[in-house]
Amino acid sequence: MKFPSRVKLVDVGPRDGLQNEKQAVPAEVKIGLVHRLQEAGLKEIEVTSFVSPKWVPQMADNAEVMHGIRRRAGVRYSVLTPNMKGFEAALAAPREEWPDEIVVFGAASEAFSQKNINCSIAESIERFRPVAEAARDKGIFVRGAMSCTVGCPYEGEIAPERVGMLAKLMKGIGVQHVGVADTIGVGTPVKVLRALEATLAHYGVDEVSGHYHDTYGQALSNTLASLELGIWQYDTSVGGLGGCPFAKGATGNVATEDVVYMLHGMGIETGIDLDQLIDAGVYINQALGREPNSRVSKAIRTKRQG
The partner in contact with residue 19, picked from Mg ion, ligand HMG, none with C-beta cut-offs of 5 to 8 angstroms by kind, is ligand HMG
With CA atoms as reference, report the closest residue to 208 among 14, 48, 10: 10
Positions in 285-304 near ligand HMG (CB under 6 A)? none
Site string for ligand HMG, 242-271 (x = CB under 6 A): --x-x-------------------------
With CA atoms as reference, report the closest residue to 117 among 90, 149, 86: 86
Site string for Mg ion, 2-41 (x = CB under 5 A): --------------x-------------------------
Residue 30 touches ligand HMG, criterion: CB under 6 A: no
Residue 105 touches ligand HMG, criterion: CB under 6 A: yes
Give min distance, CB of 5 to ligand HMG, in A.
27
| DSSP letters spanning 182-251 | ETTS---HHHHHHHHHHHHTTS-GGGEEEEEB-TTS-HHHHHHHHHHTT--EEEEBGGG----TTSTT--
Alpha carbon separation from 118 to 85, 107, 112, 127, 179 (Å, rounded): 15, 11, 9, 11, 21
Sign of CA dihedral 110, 113, 119, 124: negative
The partner in contact with residue 118, picked from ligand HMG, Mg ion, none with C-beta cut-offs of 5 to 8 angstroms by kind, is ligand HMG
**Which C-beta is closer to ligand HMG: that of 148 or that of 200?**
148
Give catalytic status of residue 244 as yes or no.
yes
| List 11, 16, 44, 258, residue binding ligand HMG (CB under 6 A) | 16
Alpha helices in the chain (DSSP H): 18-19, 27-39, 62-68, 84-91, 110-117, 121-137, 160-172, 189-200, 219-228, 256-265, 274-288, 295-304
The partner in contact with residue 158, picked from ligand HMG, Mg ion, none with C-beta cut-offs of 5 to 8 angstroms by kind, is none
The partner in contact with residue 131, picked from ligand HMG, Mg ion, none with C-beta cut-offs of 5 to 8 angstroms by kind, is none
Positions in 129-188 near ligand HMG (CB under 6 A)? 145, 147, 181, 183
145 sits in which H/E element: strand 141-147
Positions in 43-102 near ligand HMG (CB under 6 A)? 49-52, 55-56, 80, 82-83, 85-86, 89
Distance from C-alpha of 148 to C-alpha of 299, rounded to nearest angstrom: 32
**Which C-beta is closer to Mg ion: that of 18 or that of 69?**
18
How many Cβ atoms from other residues are within 10 Å of residue 54's Cβ?
A: 7
Distance from C-alpha of 161 to C-alpha of 249, rounded to nearest angstrom: 25
Residues contributing to the site for ligand HMG (CB under 6 A): 16, 19, 49-52, 55-56, 80, 82-83, 85-86, 89, 105, 116-119, 145, 147, 181, 183, 211, 213, 244, 246
Binding site for Mg ion (CB under 5 A): 16
Active-site residue set:
244
